[in-house]
């Protein structure tokens, strides 16, 4: 794969601010602690179960926070703050309807099957349910996706360091990648999970001052909404649902069907229930009840993340100077490269500099670095597991010792990180980080969700049906992506409207690829020989006696807390309708 480096970026010298000694001390403390944790847990990661699944001994709280934190990478912090500036409060859908129902579904419906099957990975579940072919397809596509995602995280971190501090982009990439590779290689998933929880706490400690001070400057939420309406000329940027009746009525150019069916029912369910990066965290839980509670706890915290990601974007959109002119005029990254203006993705660093002096700035920058490193660690630890169990152990060396697989896990962490570094340089030429990530999601995640959900809930699904459905969905997704990139007018057919914008393309492409996967799976299953019911025990609803999770009171029941989260979710959506 050719790696093209933009020399202008490497030699870029201008920057927004510099770190004071206090800031450097804060950043250095963080690096020292995460590396210490890597060395500290190395002694307790000797077996493959300990290295790849953290010994399956995490509590619900730790697994739940890690579940959310593994997702707090560049996409979350930089991308969605920029998206909030660009599209307004509609970006919140990616946190609420685009996450909460799926996370609750994972905990309540799907987790028992993942957990009692004792699988090491999602491709591992597919192996048990559909055989080697489906596992291979899923494992290879997942490994590819995680490496690319890790590269995206790495690149995003380097851009932040360059934009804010003027650090050389190559220096940032290698320091971030080296640190993550070291602590994941030493402590495996255990080390990654501990650091992810630490990073989650740090992200809140470092980023919370921006929305707090931003709301104080804007004189409260109601004034901020009024200021946004004045700055952009309409009130469409602060409504979650009321502008989704037509593609033309909202800044994102999407329709509510795309949000509900494309984003929520397909992309989000696909990501949160079948992406091994996040599911791996829950598989590390120490019992079934903890495994079911972890996604519920994660959902509760996920609902609060827009406060530190979406709200800053809205604050930047609503701020104005004393003469009434807007404070920030941000542009797309492609334009910013040519004009030297700030891009949408710069919104969070710009606000950090606006509100945070020495000390607080260091904490905010450390929070951003922690978020990016969390994303990288999540990807590389998941890659290491899938490579070792589902590719190397399944197809190249089936009978190696447990120690050999642990060693392979450590080395694949390093190699995976090196490939990610190559990817980071490649991403420099992508116009938008967000488009890149969205495209990846719909290539693999949407069809995979179709395969897993049919395999888990429908006994009649056969091995051939699972394989051909997954293949057809993935190929269809890539085909639609290529079609629209070759001919932009094709978007009207994918999204079924001439007014659709690129974001709508991602949602509808995911929906179509899922439907194609499900359709092919059902059709092929119905014409092939059914799998004997005894072979489905522990894998499929209706063929499995679900064990009691041990809850003895209402307060211990995951379903009760899932209902509480769901009620809060409905209230906030109605309040911002």
Partner 1 sequence: MSKNKPGRDDRRGIHAVDPQSYPKQRQELSLWFFCGILLLSYGLILIVHGIYERFGHQPATVLAALHPTLWWGILLAAGGAFYTLRFRPRSR
- Out of 42, 51, 58, 344, the residue judged to bind partner 1 by CB under 8 A: 58
Is 359 among the residues that bind partner 1 (CB under 8 A)? yes
Query: Least distance to partner 1 from the beta carbon of 81, Å?
Result: 18
From 38-46, 67-75, 160-168, 518-526, span contacting partner 1 (CB under 8 A): 38-46
Is 33 among the residues that bind partner 1 (CB under 8 A)? yes
Residue 159: CA count within 13 A, CB half-sphere: 30
User: What 8-state DSSP symbol labels residue 548?
Assistant: P
Is 320 among the residues that bind partner 1 (CB under 8 A)? no
Is 297 among the residues that bind partner 1 (CB under 8 A)? no
Is 304 among the residues that bind partner 1 (CB under 8 A)? no
207 vs 518 by CB, closer to partner 1: 207
3-state helix, strand, coil in the chain (%, to 5): 75, 0, 25
> x/- site string to partner 1, residues 511 to 540, per CB under 8 A?
------------------------------
Rg of the Cα atoms in the chain? 23
- Out of 164, 202, 291, 540, the residue judged to bind partner 1 by CB under 8 A: 202
- How far apart CA 234 and CA 451 sit, in angstroms, is 43
Strand-pair partners of 326: 320
357 vs 498 by CB, closer to partner 1: 357
Query: Least distance to partner 1 from the beta carbon of 415, Å?
Result: 26
- Out of 99, 207, 310, 356, the residue judged to bind partner 1 by CB under 8 A: 356
Report the SS3 class of residue 289. Answer: helix
- How far apart CA 144 and CA 137 sit, in angstroms, is 11
Report the SS3 class of residue 285. Answer: strand
Is 133 among the residues that bind partner 1 (CB under 8 A)? no
Is 310 among the residues that bind partner 1 (CB under 8 A)? no
> x/- site string to partner 1, residues 246 to 285, per CB under 8 A?
----------------------------------------
- Are the CB atoms for 31 and 184 separated by under 8 Å? no
- Out of 3, 5, 28, 216, the residue judged to bind partner 1 by CB under 8 A: 216
Residues in Cβ contact with 126 at an 8 Å cutoff, skipping those fewer than 6 apart: 134, 135, 138, 451, 452, 455, 466
User: What 8-state DSSP symbol labels residue 167?
Assistant: -
212 vs 568 by CB, closer to partner 1: 212
From 98-106, 107-115, 156-164, 357-365, span contacting partner 1 (CB under 8 A): 357-365
E strands, 23-143, where? none
- Out of 38, 48, 50, 91, the residue judged to bind partner 1 by CB under 8 A: 50
- How far apart CA 433 and CA 402 sit, in angstroms, is 39
> x/- site string to partner 1, residues 450 to 489, per CB under 8 A?
----------------------------------------
- How far apart CA 543 and CA 456 sit, in angstroms, is 10
Is 37 among the residues that bind partner 1 (CB under 8 A)? yes
- How far apart CA 352 and CA 460 sit, in angstroms, is 54
- Are the CB atoms for 51 and 188 separated by under 8 Å? yes
Concatenated DSSP letters for 93-118?
GGTTTTTHHHHHHIIIIIHHHHHHTT
- Out of 254, 363, 426, 539, the residue judged to bind partner 1 by CB under 8 A: 363
- Out of 9, 12, 31, 59, the residue judged to bind partner 1 by CB under 8 A: 59
End-to-end CA distance of the chain: 46
Count interface residues toward partner 1 (CB under 8 A).
Answer: 39
Is 217 among the residues that bind partner 1 (CB under 8 A)? yes
- Out of 38, 41, 305, 434, the residue judged to bind partner 1 by CB under 8 A: 41
User: What 8-state DSSP symbol labels residue 14?
Assistant: -
CB atoms inside a 10 Å sphere around CB 13: 7
The site for partner 1 (CB under 8 A) is made up of 22, 25-26, 29-30, 33, 37, 40-41, 44, 50, 55-59, 62, 190, 194, 197-198, 201-202, 205, 209, 212-213, 216-217, 286, 353-360, 363
């Amino acid at each position: 794969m050719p790696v093209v480096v933009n020399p202008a970026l490497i030699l870029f010298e201008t920057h927004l601010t510099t770190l004071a000694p206090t800031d450097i001390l804060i950043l250095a403390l963080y690096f020292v602690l995460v590396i210490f944790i890597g060395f500290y847990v190395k002694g307790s990661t000797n077996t493959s179960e300990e290295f790849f699944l953290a010994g399956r001994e995490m509590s619900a709280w730790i697994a739940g926070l890690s579940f959310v934190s593994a997702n707090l990478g560049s996409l979350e912090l930089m991308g969605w703050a920029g998206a909030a500036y660009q599209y307004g409060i509609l970006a919140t859908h990616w946190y609420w309807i685009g996450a909460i129902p799926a996370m609750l579904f994972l905990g309540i419906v799907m987790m028992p099957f993942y957990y009692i099957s004792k699988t090491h990975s999602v491709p591992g579940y597919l192996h048990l349910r559909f055989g080697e072919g489906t596992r291979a397809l899923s494992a290879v596509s997942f490994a590819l996706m995680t490496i690319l995602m890790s590269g995206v995280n790495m690149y995003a971190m380097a851009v932040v360091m360059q934009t804010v501090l003027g650090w050389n982009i190559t220096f940032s990439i290698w320091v971030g990648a080296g640190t993550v590779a070291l602590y994941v290689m030493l402590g495996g998933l255990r080390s990654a999970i501990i650091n992810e929880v630490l990073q989650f706490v740090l992200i809140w400690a470092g980023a919370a001052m921006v929305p707090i001070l931003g709301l104080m400057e804007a004189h409260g939420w109601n004034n901020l909404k009024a200021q946004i309406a004045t700055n952009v000329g309409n009130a469409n940027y602060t409504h979650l649902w009321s502008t989704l009746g037509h593609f033309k009525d909202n800044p994102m150019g999407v329709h509510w069907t795309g949000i509900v069916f494309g984003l929520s029912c397909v992309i989000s369910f696909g990501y949160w229930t079948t992406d091994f990066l996040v599911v791996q965290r829950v598989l590390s839980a120490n019992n079934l009840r903890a495994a079911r509670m972890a996604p519920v706890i994660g959902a509760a915290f996920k609902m609060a993340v827009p406060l530190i990601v979406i709200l800053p974007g809205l604050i930047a959109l609503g701020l104005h100077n004393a003469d009434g002119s807007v404070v920030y005029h941000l542009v797309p990254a492609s334009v910013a490269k040519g004009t030297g203006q700030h891009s949408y993705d710069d919104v969070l660093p710009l606000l950090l500099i606006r509100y945070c002096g020495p000390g607080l700035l260091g904490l905010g920058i450390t929070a951003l670095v922690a978020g990016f490193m969390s994303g990288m660690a999540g990807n590389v630890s998941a890659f290491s597991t899938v490579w070792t169990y589902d590719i190397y152990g399944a197809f190249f060396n089936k009978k190696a010792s447990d120690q050999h697989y642990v060693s392979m896990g450590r080395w694949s962490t390093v190699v995976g990180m090196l490939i990610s570094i190559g990817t980071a340089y490649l991403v420099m030429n992508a116009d938008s980080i967000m488009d890149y990530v969205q495209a990846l999601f719909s290539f693999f995640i949407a069809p995979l969700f179709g395969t897993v959900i049919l395999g888990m809930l429908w006994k009649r699904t056969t091995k051939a049906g699972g394989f051909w459905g997954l293949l057809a969905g993935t190929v269809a997704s890539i085909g639609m992506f290529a079609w629209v990139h070759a001919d932009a007018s094709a978007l009207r057919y994918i999204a079924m409207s001439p007014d659709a914008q690129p974001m709508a393309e991602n949602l509808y492409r995911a929906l179509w690829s899922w439907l194609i996967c499900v359709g092919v799976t059902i059709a092929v299953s119905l014409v092939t020989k059914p799998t004997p019911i005894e072979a489905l025990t522990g894998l499929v609803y209706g063929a499995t006696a679900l064990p009691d999770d041990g809850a003895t009171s209402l307060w211990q029941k995951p379903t009760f807390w899932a209902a509480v989260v769901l009620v809060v979710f409905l209230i906030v959506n109605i309040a911002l309708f």
